[in-house]
């Protein structure tokens, strides 16, 4: 079935790095914009990054710009998020999600189950 599955979360010290992965299946991954969102414990959703189908267009939220890098491998149906210089405020559940393929990258119809990232000494 159509699904996205995140992995790679865990406990990391402030200033450390972590790489998240998101495996897509059940659809033609290379046709879609994909995104990373996060949700800090007890808080709301935050969009953090998007990447177009061919990786031509990449965007970041100001909160992660210069520290996080989004990438994808269409041959492997996979999305990645390299997170460097991690801070306590990056602690959150991280979700990958697919745009629904409408006009712009604005509506996310398939979400993963999330992976928890904890930044603490």
Partner 1 sequence: QSALAQPASVSGTPGQSITISCTGTSSDVGAYNFVSWYQQHPGRAPKLMIYDVSNRPSGVSNRFSGSKSGSTASLTISGLQAEDEADYYCASYTTTNTLVFGGGTKLTVL
Instruction: Report the interface residues with partner 1, using CB under 8 A.
Output: 35, 37, 44-47, 50, 57, 59-62, 95, 100, 102-109, 111-114
Query: What is the CA angle 37-91-100, rounded to 5?
Result: 10
**Least distance from partner 1 to the Cβ atom of residue 100, Å:** 6
**Least distance from partner 1 to the Cβ atom of residue 10, Å:** 19
Task: Return the DSSP state at 75.
Answer: G
Residue closer to partner 1 by CB (options 80, 108) is 108
Q: Are 53 and 30 in contact (CB under 8 A)?
A: yes
Residue closer to partner 1 by CB (options 29, 35) is 35
Length of the chain counted residue by residue = 121
**Least distance from partner 1 to the Cβ atom of residue 3, Å:** 11
Q: Are 32 and 99 in contact (CB under 8 A)?
A: yes
């Amino acid at each position: 079935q159509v699904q996205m599955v995140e992995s790679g979360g865990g406990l990391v010290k402030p200033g450390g790095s972590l790489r998240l992965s998101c495996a897509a299946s059940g659809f033609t991954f290379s046709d879609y914009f994909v995104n990373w969102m996060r949700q800090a414990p007890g808080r709301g959703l935050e969009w953090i990054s998007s990447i177009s189908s061919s990786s031509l267009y990449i965007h970041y939220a100001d909160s992660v710009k210069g520290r996080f890098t989004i990438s994808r491998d269409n041959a492997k149906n996979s999305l990645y998020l390299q997170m460097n210089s991690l801070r306590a405020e990056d602690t959150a559940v991280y979700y990958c999600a697919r745009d629904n393929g409408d006009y712009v990258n604005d509506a996310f119809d398939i979400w993963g189950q999330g992976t928890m990232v904890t930044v603490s000494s």
